[in-house]
Structure 1
């Protein structure tokens, strides 16, 4: 049916945010799904779920199921359940914390292992770009660039 005939198309996309604790995954999730920002840090234990419905056209709707995985989950017994059926993985690191970037390799390899046979899209997200971190950002950006080039 065409748009004029009234049939709506619904799609759900599962997005997982993964990375070290305090890298800002929850802030990204809440900013996206609720258009809110909370400066208080509350550690995610296990996983938090967020939903956002986007109307692309009058008859084409997408629901984004955002799964904010707690930073302590790497190596835990539940990670494979949290990422089951994932379509997109956002690997999040804190631009002021080089170790959080270096740990993304472990996150990537572990998630890729659990996704055997599936090929979700992966994206790298540098977070916490407040202006007063500009010095640290430049330093870490150089380290990230050299890491990527090797």
Structure 2
């Protein structure tokens, strides 16, 4: 995890800080409505302290800074602001994204099955060589889990994407998702290499895979 706000800077640290490389990155968070996307972003950014903004396309976006000893990231994290309910998320939302979180609710079967649509949208609207992607399963206290870790992992393995699960009440887990994605993007930019996990994929129909994983691992409540 990375510290977002240095607590003190002495002269030696000040000299070192000047040598840091600054990055301005755009992250997008996609997935079905009411799976917890906004909650993740708000908790990560501490939006009640920093506030949020709205751009001309009516997409909410939040600011956050991630720092490492060698670099600093100014993140602009975009939320769909409820537009996903009407399938009205346009190409402008995806354009220029460096990082993408595809989220689903572990207690909602439909949100898992619909990952196919969101993944294909991301491929259609983003430059696959410029964006790093992570699949995130969201767990909420008091809700019965429907999608097993095995099913979700099988799906993410097929797409060759990293998969993580987070509890919306665990700040550390939420921070790790965004911080690690930022680190991945910076490393990719610094190496000037395309994202291998995305370069070999094209838009496809993944419905059969979802059904196949269900039969292989048993019922969805396993």
TM class by smaller structure = 0.7 to 0.9
Among 64, 80, 93, the alignment partner of 1:69 is: 80
Aligned to 2:151, what secondary structure does the other structure show? Answer: helix
Taking the aligned partners of 1:101 and 1:71, their CA distance within structure 2 comes to 18
Equivalent residue number for residue 60 of structure 2? 48
Deviation of 1:53 (Å): 1.1
Which of the two has greater helix per residue?
2
The correspondence of residues 111-122 of structure 1 with structure 2, limited to 5 A, is 111-116=122-127, 118-122=129-133
Aligned to 1:140, what secondary structure does the other structure show? Answer: coil
Which of the two has greater strand per residue?
1
**Change in CA separation of 1:46 and 1:35 when aligned onto 2, cut-off 3 Å:** closer
Higher RCO structure (Cα 8 Å, ≥6 apart): 1
Among 30, 50, 54, the alignment partner of 1:18 is: 30
The aligned length equals 134
Aligned to 2:62, what secondary structure does the other structure show? Answer: strand
TM-score by length of 2: 0.52
The correspondence of residues 23-42 of structure 1 with structure 2, limited to 5 A, is 23-34=35-46
Deviation of 1:117 (Å): 5.6
Aligned to 2:119, what secondary structure does the other structure show? Answer: helix
The correspondence of residues 95-134 of structure 1 with structure 2, limited to 5 A, is 95-116=106-127, 118-130=129-141, 132-133=142-143
Q: Is residue 52–residue 65 contact of structure 1 (8 Å, CA) maintained in 2?
A: yes
Unaligned residue ranges in structure 1 (runs of 5+): 37-44
Unaligned residue ranges in structure 2 (runs of 5+): 1-14, 49-56, 159-208, 210-222
**Change in CA separation of 1:114 and 1:4 when aligned onto 2, cut-off 3 Å:** closer
Cα offsets for 1:31-60 (capped at 9, x unmatched)? 001176xxxxxxxx9521011012212x62
Equivalent residue number for residue 96 of structure 2? 85
Q: CA RMSD in A?
A: 2.8
Aligned to 2:95, what secondary structure does the other structure show? Answer: coil
